[in-house]
Amino acid sequence: MGELPSMKVKPVKWEDVAYWCKLLSKRIRDSGYRPDVVIAIARGGFVPARLVCDYLNIVDLLSIKVEHWIETGKHIERAYIKYPFKVDLTGKRVLIVDDICDTGESLIVAREHVEEHCKPLEVKTATMQHIPSVAKIEPDFYVDVVKEWTWYMYPWNYTEDMVNLTRKIMNSDPQKQWAPEEVKEAFKIAYNLDVPLETIKEVMEEATLRGFLEKNGSKYKLKT
């Protein structure tokens, strides 16, 4: 058996998201900035952006798809706009919202694209989390400073993340037939997460449906 992955993972609850976004909105309002349009960075910024719209009474919500984090804990070297668009935002104050600023690349390319192609009056950025130790920029607004790089497992990507984290574990021994109980124990070692066994079983079934695993009785193996 190879070495298990090691990654700091923080599961996030819906109530955490609501609290952060309410606080984020208050900071935006207290600053005096009054956005006319909110642009969510897809996919992670969808929910925070909608909540910010609600808390700040903003009707116009757009989205922009930035390709950067392609898998849990793994990103491509350079972020880019997957579906470029041009919208006339002349005279508009824009707020670009994402869930977290880790490398900051998504915010950078989104802001550059909006400024160049949409010609807004002003653009500011906002995230719930900010990781200064690795970020190339500092968002204009944020509420939670993360001192050590951590993978935030938000509720809207919980299943996707759990599937990928399971695959990382099983990839430490690709030929092994893994029982859910073994994966559960490996989660404690690799990610310091004590996940209920029933959840592990559901995730491994889902990973099988997605074509990542193959099942043999009560055990699973990475699909080759």
Q: Is the pLDDT of residue 13 over 60?
A: yes
Task: Please tell me whether the overall predicted TM-score, pTM, comes out greater than 0.85 for this model.
Answer: yes
Q: Output phi, psi for 169, to 5 deg.
A: -65, -50
Residue 2 pLDDT level (bands cut at 50, 70, 90)? confident
Question: What is the 3-class SS of 135-201, one letter each residue?
Answer: CCCCCCECCEECCCCCEEECHHHHHHHHHHHHHHHHCCCCCCCECHHHHHHHHHHHHCCCCCHHHHH
**Predicted pLDDT at 76:** 52
**Predicted pLDDT at 80:** 86
Of the chain, the end-to-end C-alpha distance in Å amounts to 17
**Predicted pLDDT at 79:** 81
Q: What is the mean pLDDT of residues 20-43?
A: 97
Q: What percent of the chain has pLDDT over 70?
A: 95
- CATH number for domain 12-153, candidates 2.60.120.560, 3.40.50.2020, 3.40.50.300, 3.40.190.10: 3.40.50.2020
Q: What is the pLDDT of residues 171-195, one digit of tens each?
A: 999 999 999 999 999 999 999 999 9
Q: What is the pLDDT of residues 69-127, one digit of tens each?
A: 555 445 556 788 888 888 999 999 999 999 999 999 999 999 999 999 999 999 999 99
Residue-wise DSSP of 55-90: HHT--EEEEEEEEEEEETTEEEEEEEESS------T
Please state, rounded to an integer, the average pLDDT across all residues of the chain: 94
Q: In this structure, which topology does domain 155-222 adopt according to CATH?
A: Arc Repressor Mutant, subunit A (1.10.10)
**Cβ atoms of 171 and 222 closer than 8 Å:** yes
Q: Measure the CA–CA gap between 131 and 149, rounded to whole angstroms.
A: 7
Give CA separation, 210 vs 21, 59, 156, 159, 214, in Å: 32, 37, 18, 11, 10
Top pLDDT among 27 and 84 is at: 27
Domain ranges of the chain: 12-153, 155-222
Strand, helix or coil for residue 19: helix
**Predicted pLDDT at 73:** 46
Q: Output phi, psi for 90, to 5 deg.
A: -55, 130
Strand, helix or coil for residue 10: strand
Q: What is the mean pLDDT of residues 211-219?
A: 96
